[in-house]
Structure 1
Amino acid sequence: MTSELSAPRTVPTLESVAERAGVSRSTASRAINGDARVSPQARSAVEEAVAALGYSPNRAARSLVLRRTDSVALVIPEPDERVLNDPFFAGTLRGLTAALEDDDIQLVLMITRPGQADRSMRYLRNGHVDGAVVVSHHLEDALDRALVDSHVPNVFVGRPLSAVATGLQYVDIDNVAGGRLATEHLVARGCRRIGTIAGPADMSAGIDRLAGFRRALAAAGLPVDAVEHGDFTLDSGAAAARRLLAAHPDLDGIFVASDLMAAGALPVLAAAGRRVPDDVAVVGYDNLGVSASTQPPLTTVVQPVPAMAQAAGRRLLDLLRGGPAQEPLIFSPELVVRASA
């Protein structure tokens, strides 16, 4: 004889919810799924029945009806090692997770390796996620153009570069103002031969920070020719610093477009016998943790990455709820002064 303790638990069904609420099965289903056609009285009755019975909707069936997956993608078109080693992406994950935590939305991480943008777009178009946040976008990835064509809800962190992507939503920092702020600090400090290790020329952050650098030097009547590019990595910062010193040995100030590149440049300066900040003042960009641990600690421009990613996540949720498109959200840069400048 089966004991009471071993008896199987009866799982409440949609039919039992409908019966308790005194409505049809279809009305109960519409009420649970938020259909506006359900009367307030019926909706209240269904909600009371759901609470009383402990009913939990079948998420798979709900996804089939609503064509919703309750998941969004974070798309990062970068190599694996870059994503794992750059604090920018850890900050992005923290911010986006914070935006989604109250909505029971699953975050899917999509690392799009070079040459695999088409594969990622097929995944997005095939309805595996409801929308996407894209960070660290490069012009050749063409993700902005593809997302315009696909109609997949999306928000970029960082200004999209494609001319056809003017309707895309994005969150960014004013990188032109940030590059100008960093360079003006070097000018105010008395530097007169200032160079830069700029970011990639196929990313809006690299383009805009370099533009700010050039504007500040032009306004001060100083030469703007000392420019080398890196890819926002430690090794590229070291290589660019060696090229910069070889071409312009008289530099007394360097604006570096990311703290990781600056961390790579500092040992190169030390090996060349250039003391920081006595011989060469250095200003970085990001303030994501690296800047406080270098020797000497970096003066840097604050890029509020977690707040930017959180804002992008909230905007994506608004789109998924049927909200209107919004104007770009642009954060203002700030400078943190430390020993390097």
Structure 2
Amino acid sequence: MPASARPRRPSLEDVAARAGVSRATVSRVVNGATTVDSTIAARVDRAVHELGYQPNLSARALVNRRTDTLALIASESDTRVFGDPFFSRIVQGATLEAGAAGMQLVLFMPQERTELERAERYVRSGAVDGALLISQHEADVRLPETLSRAGVPVVIGGRPFNEDLDVPFVDNDNVTGGRLAARRLVAIGRRRIGTITGSKDMTAGIDRLAGFRAELGEAFRPDLVEQGEFTQDSGLAAAQRLLERAPDVDAIFAASDLMALGAIQVLHRTGRRVPEDVAVVGFDDIQVAASAAPPLTTIRQQTALQGRAMVRLLLARTRPDLELPPLPGLPGPATASHLVLPVELVERASA
């Protein structure tokens, strides 16, 4: 087909005309800027979809075919990402490792479907060399598969829902962590052991509950299970529900330290002593766990190392030419299909 007969690719100007905005506004939206009014951004996104516009950002890197940029996608609110120590530590680890390789990270925090689609378009456009996906929810299950099919190197933080998908991942040993928590509470003589689970649409929450249940065996009580969302407020609310239904509970395993701290608030408020009346075990070993009242017994996971390991796995696939120093603590080579980092029980005064 002669060039004159080929359909013309939509341009930024075409999108701007369709959306009724300036070319500069379109450029900011397709490049992932968060400063554009949400109503205007939605109009631009609709015009991009209707016209089939695809930015060719990789033209900036035609010489070496690299951008030296990685996308970090966390499907959470900015309040959660910047307020939960889990995220700050994993971002810190990923940033350190990327920086050591002369690369940078661009952070996406999509919450709505349109925001997720915008992040996906940006990553697929060639603006980054690969993507790190953390805090994956079941609703996001298609994203790693879509990006992989588009030829974008991807590494997932956590066990993926679809384990048949050929995408590398780095996880902490959540099943063993749940087992260690249950084992500790049984060892100190607790018999009415409740649990506040993590989100049931995330594999971390599923796996921690599975380990806890398996370790307790016949002593596991389904009626002493309450669901949380890995936040302090959700832990507080779940503990209230649990104590109203089972006031004689003598131990609580919370699937995150933030939820454990929320549970301790409720226990103090209702006149229960920790650990004399109710022992509490958390999960994460965030910085404030050691200074809680009382100091929190918890399962330590290596979140910063997880972030670094995710970048290592990605670089092993995108930059095999790089010679990086060994990364202590990795349970396998960076060329492995997945890595599961060990966890450990940290005994403090709460249990």
TM superposition shift of 1:103? 1.8
What is the match of residue 217 of structure 1? 216
TM superposition shift of 1:99? 1.0
TM-score between both structures, scaled by the size of structure 2: 0.76
Give secondary structure in 2 for the equivalent of 1:156: strand
Q: 2:102 aligns with which of 101, 104, 114?
A: 104
Deviations 1:134-153 (A, max 9, x none): 11110102323323322211
Alignment coverage as a number of residue pairs: 280
Q: Is the 8 A contact 2:190 2:251 kept in 1?
A: yes
Q: 1:268 aligns with which of 253, 266, 272?
A: 266
> How many angstroms apart in 2 are the aligned matches of 1:61 and 1:328?
32
Q: Is the 8 A contact 1:301 1:335 kept in 2?
A: yes
What is the match of residue 52 of structure 1? none
Q: 1:78 aligns with which of 71, 76, 92?
A: 76
TM superposition shift of 1:164? 5.0
TM superposition shift of 1:130? 0.7
> How many angstroms apart in 2 are the aligned matches of 1:98 and 1:322?
19
What is the match of residue 339 of structure 1? 349
Deviations 1:254-294 (A, max 9, x none): 00000011111111111111110000000000012121122
- What RMSD in Å do the two structures reach over aligned CA positions? 1.8
Give secondary structure in 1 for the equivalent of 2:291: coil
Give secondary structure in 2 for the equivalent of 1:72: strand
Name structure 1 gaps, 5 residues minimum: 1-59
Q: Is the 8 A contact 2:182 2:212 kept in 1?
A: yes
TM superposition shift of 1:65? 2.6
Q: Is the 8 A contact 2:131 2:154 kept in 1?
A: yes
Calculate percent identity across the aligned residue pairs: 51
TM superposition shift of 1:66? 3.0
What is the match of residue 168 of structure 2? 169
Name structure 2 gaps, 5 residues minimum: 1-57, 322-333
Q: Which deviates further from its counterpart, 317-326 or 281-290?
A: 317-326
State whether structure 2 residue 157 is matched by structure 1 residue 157. yes
Deviations 1:153-208 (A, max 9, x none): 1111111113552x110111110110010111000010000010000001010000
Decide whether aligned partners of structure 1 residues 114 and 164 sit closer, same or farther in structure 2, where only a CA change above 3 A counts: farther
Once superposed, which parts of structure 1, at least 4 consecutive aligned residues long, lie more than 6 Å away? none
Give secondary structure in 1 for the equivalent of 2:201: coil
Q: 1:318 aligns with which of 316, 322, 342?
A: 316
Decide whether aligned partners of structure 1 residues 203 and 101 sit closer, same or farther in structure 2, where only a CA change above 3 A counts: same
Give secondary structure in 1 for the equivalent of 2:62: helix
Q: Is the 8 A contact 2:90 2:307 kept in 1?
A: yes
Deviations 1:216-251 (A, max 9, x none): 1116x4434311111111111111111111121111
Q: Is the 8 A contact 1:135 1:157 kept in 2?
A: yes
Q: 2:277 aligns with which of 276, 279, 284?
A: 279
What is the match of residue 125 of structure 1? 124
Q: Is the 8 A contact 2:167 2:337 kept in 1?
A: no
Report matched runs for 1:17-28 at 5 Å.
none
What is the match of residue 47 of structure 2? none
Q: Is the 8 A contact 2:159 2:170 kept in 1?
A: yes
Question: Which entry has the higher C-alpha Rg, 1 or 2?
Answer: 1
Deviations 1:93-146 (A, max 9, x none): 211122112221111111122333222111111111110111111010232332
Q: Is the 8 A contact 2:169 2:338 kept in 1?
A: yes
Give secondary structure in 2 for the equivalent of 1:78: coil
